[in-house]
Structure formats: C-alpha cells, structure tokens
Amino acid sequence: MAVLNEEQEMLRDMAREWATNESPVTEFRKVRASGAPEAFDRDAYGTMAEMGWAGIIIPEEHGGSDFGFLSAGLVVEELGKTLTASPLIATTLAASAIMLGGSDEQKAKWLPKLASGEAIATLAVDEGPHHDPAEIATSVSGGKLTGTKGFVAEAHGADLFVVAAKDGLYLVEKGDGVTLTTRRLTDQRSHADIAFDGAAAEKLENGGDTLLDDVLDRARVLTAAEMLGMAQIVFDTTLDYLKQRVQFNQVLSSFQALQHRMADLFADLAQMRSAVEAGLQAVDSGVGASRAAIVAKAEANRVLHTMSNEGIQLHGGIGMTDEYDIGLYLKRARVLEPAWGATGYLKNRFATLGGY
C-alpha cells in the first residue's frame, strides 16, 4: 500500500466500510438476478455520488474534490473487492476526457452533472472484441457521427458517450441516432454494441494529438485498480479457506506444496499492487504516465489471471459452485483483461514506447 495522506486514508476507510456493509457481493447477486441490462443499482450509485466518489478527479470549480487518480483508485479498489457494479469508473474516465479535451463550455455543462451523479457517462473507443485504438472507422461529417462501437461498458446507463472517431474524441448524448444492442458477457454487467447513425456530436477540441492516448492511460490504471481489489480478495479468501479446510486430519494450509503456491501468489500480488499504485501516481504527476499505465495494466492482467485460476483450484470443488463467490471474480477478471489492452497489445506498445 502506498504511503497515504490523511485525506486519502479517510477516503479509503470510508469506501471500505461502505463496500463491506452496504455493497457486499450479495448486492451484486441481486443486480445479476434482476437481469436488467443496465446492471447496477441506481440508488447505490446515487449514494456513491453523494459521498463524492464520482467527482474525485474533477476540479473543485466543477463540483469535484480534485483528489486525483491515486485517490480514485483507492475507492475503485475497495469496490472491486465486493464486485460492486456501478458506472463509477466509466463516468470518471469520461470526465477525464472532458477535463483534458473539453472547452470551458463543455466542462461547465458536463462535469458538475457527472460529479453529482446526475449524469452518467462512458467511453466508446473500440469497435470490436479487441482493444485496437489504431483501427477506428467511426467518422464525423457536419457534426454528425456515424459508426459502430463494440462491447461498450456501462452503455445502458449512460446519458453521454465519449466516442473515438478517426479525427478525435466527440461527445454524443443518448437519443436520436444512438442504438444499443445488449451484449451479455460472462460477468453479467452492462455491455452493449452501439450503432451511431448520424448522431449529433461535439468535438473535444483541446488536448492535442495525445488526447486519446492520455485518456487510455487513465482507463488502464483505473481498471487495474478494480482488478487489484479483486486479486486481493481472491487471495485473502483462498488463504482463509486453506486455513479452515481439513483433509487427512490436517488443515490444508499446513501442506508445504500449498504454502509455496501461496507464497508465490503473495509475491505476485505485491508486484501487482506496486505496479498499479505507481501507475495511478504517474497519471497524477504526469511523469512517464504512458509506460507506467501499461505496466500497471499488464501486471494486473498477469496476476489476476493467475490468481483467479489458482483461487478456483485451491478451493477445490466448492470453488466451482455458483453459490460460492470465487467464480464471480474469475468471470469478471476475464472480461477486464482485454479491456484497454490485453497483455499482448500492452507488451507491443511497451516495446514501441521503448524504441524496440
């Protein structure tokens, strides 16, 4: 855990308490059982926004607290631990795009609403099942945006889409010319393909050539923070289980073969946490953010992949049951791995940035 200041510790403790008491995994199960494509609890999100979480990165003049990404990551990590379904990450990332690229008018129009929870927003970048921001066909002509976006997270609840077109990022409000097709994935959260057919679009004119890359850096670190919370809980839950489960008249945790596997996972988790926190801090400081964000997401992918598989295996048969939570983490993990870059994509980009 990074060394935190007092505000950050309070924020984390508050998020931990709320997630544990008000939004345990049973809450996600209720959302899942409802079958609603929106896949989150509006009242719960309202509470989160009231606590200031939707505005953590947003400047104070626009109704946020301007605490930055390390702070946002602390909250997202705690919510990841209990699989809390919400558009918090999506909205935060859309807000960051407006902060980086928006005009004063666009900021004044949207940021206060996003911070207060009155509006929900999401990023729509990729057009297929793989993250590939270099291959965008969506185009804009005369203020009308046309194209299709694939597997957009939190699309059902969104009032506003930050859409990547060939020549930059655009704001598109839900409504005419925006058609959603639900894509129900294994994590049973909100995902949809979106057909934009001449939808009214407003360009984010500022932010320069790197605007999309800068937003993707933020997407990577914040997604990695959710994955960190998940990996931590899978590890903790598995360790607890090994200490309780008795076979051969011994608790499983007394078997050295299992001890050494847990020691490996402990070391992996330490690496993941270091990488994720360094990524969040790099986005805040602006120093080396692109590389740090790649390291954060790549390590999150690697470690959560292993952790979620080992979690199932070490739980044995009970880990295969729907009643047990561990499988929910496995399914969410696999959906988050390709988000904003599967490991192969990230390694390629890391090498390119490194000049090889």
Partner 1 sequence: MATQLEPEARESADVFREEARQFIADKFPQELKGKGLSMAGAEGREKETPAQKSWREAMGERGWGTPTWPKEYGGGGLSRKQAAILDEELARAGAYNPIGGMGVMMFGPTLLEYGSEAQKQEHIPPICRGEIRWCQGYSEPNAGSDLANLQTMAEDKGDHYLVNGQKTWTSGGQWADKCFAIVRTDRSDKHKGISFLLIDMDSPGVEVRPITMISGTSPFCETFFTDVKVPKENLVGEEGQGWTIGKRLLQHERTNLSGAAPGGRGGGSLADIAKKYGKVNADGTLADPVLRDRIADFEIRWTSFLHTARRAVEESKAQGGVSEISSALKKLGTKLGQERAEMTIEIMGLQGLGWEGDNFSPVELQGVRGWLYGKATTIYGGSTEIQNNVIAKRVLGMLDHQ
Who's near 242: CB < 8 A, 6+ residues apart?
251, 252, 253, 258, 262, 314
Question: Residue from 139, 210, 259, 321 that binds partner 1 (CB under 8 A)?
Answer: 259
Residues 293-312 that bind partner 1 (CB under 8 A): 294-295, 298-299, 302
Q: How far apart are CA 72 and CA 90, in angstroms?
A: 12
Residue 39 to residue 155: CA distance in whole angstroms: 10
DSSP label of 203: E
By CB under 8 A, is residue 256 in contact with partner 1? yes
- CA atoms of 234 and 134, how far apart (whole Å): 34
- Does 289 engage in binding with partner 1 (CB under 8 A)? no
Among 174, 273, 315, 332, binds partner 1 (CB under 8 A): 273
Least CB distance to partner 1 at residue 70 (A): 8
| E strand intervals along 7-125 | 121-124
Which of 27, 78, 159, 277 binds partner 1 (CB under 8 A)? It is 277
Residue 10 binds partner 1 (CB under 8 A):
no
Residue located via tokens 């930059």: 168
Structure tokens that stand for 254 in this block: 């007394």
5 binds partner 1 (CB under 8 A): yes
Question: By C-beta, is 267 or 320 nearer to partner 1?
Answer: 267
265: exposed, middle or buried (Cβ count in 10 Å: 0-12, 13-18, 19+): buried
Query: Residue 239 interacts with partner 1 (CB under 8 A)?
Result: yes
Question: In this chain, which stretch among 79-87, 94-102, 154-162, 287-295 interacts with partner 1, using CB under 8 A?
Answer: 287-295
Q: How far apart are CA 3 and CA 101, in angstroms?
A: 31
Interface size with partner 1, residues (CB under 8 A): 46
C-alpha span between 342 and 356 (Å, rounded): 19
User: Shortest gap between Cβ of 295 and partner 1 (angstroms)?
Assistant: 5
**Binding flags for partner 1, 318-347, as an x/- string (CB under 8 A):** --------------------------x-xx
Query: Looking at beta carbons only, is 215 or 278 nearer to partner 1?
Result: 278
Contact call for residues 47 and 22 (beta carbons, < 8 A) = yes
Residues in the chain: 356
Helix axes of 211-244 and 326-336: crossing angle, nearest 10 degrees: 160
- Name the minimum Å distance from CB 310 to partner 1: 14
**345-355 exposure pattern, b = at least 16 Cβ within 10 A, e = fewer:** bbeebbeeeee
Q: Which residues pair with 28 in a beta bridge?
A: none
Q: Which is nearer to partner 1, 87 or 279 (CB)?
A: 279
By CB under 8 A, residue 286 contacts partner 1:
no
Q: Whose Cβ is closer to partner 1: residue 170's or residue 235's? A: 235
Nearer to partner 1 by Cβ, of 2 and 36: the residue is 2
Cα(271)–Cα(342) distance, rounded to whole angstroms?
18
Q: Is 278 in the site for partner 1 (CB under 8 A)?
A: yes
Residue 49 lies near partner 1 (rule: CB under 8 A): no
Residue 316 interacts with partner 1 (CB under 8 A): yes or no:
no
**R_g of the chain computed on alpha carbons:** 20
Summarize as ranges the residues that interact with partner 1 (CB under 8 A). 1-6, 239, 242-243, 250-251, 253-254, 256, 258-260, 262-264, 266-267, 270-275, 277-278, 291, 294-295, 298-299, 302, 344, 346-348, 350-352, 354-356
